[in-house]
Amino acid sequence: MVSIKLFDSERRVIEAAERLAASLGSDPNHTVAAAAMDTVGRIHEAVNVYHFTGGPCAELVVLGAAAAAGAGPLVTIAAAGDRGRGLIPPCGRCRQALLDLHPDVFVAVPTDDGPALRPIRRLLPDTYFSPDADARRIVRFNKRYYEDIATARKTSTVRYEDPIAPGPAIFLFEDDEAPRTLEGTVTGVERHRLDRLTAEQARLDGFTSIDQLKKGLQGHYPGLPSDAEVEFVTFTVEAPDAVE
């Protein structure tokens, strides 16, 4: 499975969930904590509410807490159990809610090699997606592309296992400190095999050659197969700026 690099900002989300979980004590009605980061880097926290009628999980409570703070779409979410249980993955109900309400969120999960991030779609493959969710979409970029995208010098990107839909989106530039954002629109999405991308597509993505594009993709997606199915995505930004 292709791994996703954890930024320091995302590690802070995990740490916030674990820290809150460690403070819960012995109250049987609150046993799991969750933390979620929004597109401006704020981290929202909440705990579950156990009740025999079906109290909400911590992940659902933190969605409400973030919404109450005017957070908008969430970037990263993590949950941790009390009494030293550490990071825990979301249940099926929470996965479906996250997919419908925050379809581009990355979820922290425990692995044998430590915490890892998974796109929510990977945690719930081949599932039903609510057509009425009307969720705000996010497209992620490395922070080094901010200037080129803000000035419209870069107007395309190649993605792997990162479904992007045409339409308005928040362009999120990931960083160890806090993300930066631009408002934009995805204008087209085409599927290609990685080994069949053209030199023109590499040029539009800001690379001088196909080999340079492949090297960049394999750096971003460690373990990327040479014949992987990728998406060539074109986009525009609102009112491109002259960035100093």
Give the separation between CA 202 and CA 214, rounded to whole angstroms.
Answer: 9
Q: Is 45 helix (H, G, I), strand (E, B) or coil?
A: strand
Give the separation between CA 4 and CA 159, rounded to whole angstroms.
Answer: 13
Q: Are 199 and 160 in contact (CB under 8 A)?
A: no
> Helix, strand, coil % (nearest 5) of the chain?
30, 30, 40
DSSP state of 122: H
Of the candidates 10, 18, 45, 59, the residue annotated as catalytic is 59
Give the separation between CA 20 and CA 4, rounded to whole angstroms.
Answer: 25
Question: Strand 167-174 to strand 180-193: parallel, antiparallel, or no bridges (unpaired)?
Answer: antiparallel
Give the separation between CA 149 and CA 8, rounded to whole angstroms.
Answer: 23
Catalytic site includes residue 59: yes
Give the separation between CA 106 and CA 118, rounded to whole angstroms.
Answer: 5
Residues 6+ apart with CB under 8 A from 196: none
Q: Which of the residues are catalytic? A: 59
